[in-house]
């Protein structure tokens, strides 16, 4: 009796192996080849970004994002080959993505702002800018935040979403700016002499623009 049960079990096991082995092997082959193709596509994206001189941070983002999307599609295809119902699986992924998007909408706004900054380049590292009531030199442009170094040597971290949704003043874009300086003199000073001294300084100081000197 035991031999008969073992024989039936072996027969059923053999049938299952013969039935599912081709599917498993084909799915593993598709997974292996798919991962190889994804690496090639990521390399092509990276090469295209290098030729178009895209910012390094943005280039890495596009390569990673493209790889993640392709891997998800490959995983769904392999699961379908195993007989898994992918319709409900895709619906779950969509619902999870919506929930995550709602929970991280502020972070996603900052992320979108970082991408726009890298694309349109309203400022670059080293520029003197003013935004959100903060004046400083751009120290870092991160994917979520912009880091400024203020004249008081303080580090200010501004969310990119807020920066792109408000005004940005770039003092370095044109290469030169006007600086207003108030100079006080004593009440008993000779104003004509003080003015003559100041005009002489303006005419001889190399930091004063030639265009302005011609108006003196």
For 205, half-sphere exposure in the C-beta direction (CA atoms, 13 angstrom radius) is 11
pLDDT in tens, 110-137: 888 888 888 888 998 899 999 999 999 9
Predicted local distance difference test score (pLDDT) of residue 65: 73
d(CA 213, CA 192): 19
Residue 160, domain CATH = 2.30.30.60
Q: Are residues 99 and 67 in the same domain?
A: yes
The answer to whether position 108 is within a domain reads: no
Q: Does 197 have pLDDT greater than 90?
A: no
86-114 pLDDT, tens digit each: 666 666 667 666 665 555 566 778 888 88
In a domain, 111, yes or no: no
């Amino acid at each position: 009796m035991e031999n008969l049960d073992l024989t039936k079990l072996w027969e059923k096991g053999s049938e299952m192996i013969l039935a599912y082995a081709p599917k498993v092997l084909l799915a593993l082959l598709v997974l292996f080849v798919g991962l190889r193709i994804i690496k090639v596509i990521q390399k092509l994206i990276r090469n295209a970004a290098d030729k178009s001189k895209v910012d390094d941070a943005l280039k890495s983002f596009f390569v990673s994002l493209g790889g993640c999307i392709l891997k998800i599609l490959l995983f769904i295809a392999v699961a379908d080959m195993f007989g898994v119902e992918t319709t409900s699986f895709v619906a779950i992924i969509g619902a999870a993505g919506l929930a995550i998007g709602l929970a991280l909408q502020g972070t996603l706004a900052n992320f979108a702002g970082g991408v726009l900054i890298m694309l349109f380049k309203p400022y670059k590292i080293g520029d003197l800018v003013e935004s959100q009531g903060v004046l400083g030199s751009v120290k870092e442009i991160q994917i979520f935040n912009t880091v400024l170094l203020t004249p008081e040597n303080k580090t200010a971290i501004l969310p990119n979403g807020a920066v792109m949704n408000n005004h940005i003043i770039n003092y370095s874009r044109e290469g030169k700016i006007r600086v207003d300086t108030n100079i006080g003199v004593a009440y008993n000073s000779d104003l004509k002499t003080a003015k003559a001294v100041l005009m002489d300084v303006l005419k001889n100081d190399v930091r004063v623009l030639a265009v302005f000197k011609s108006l003196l």
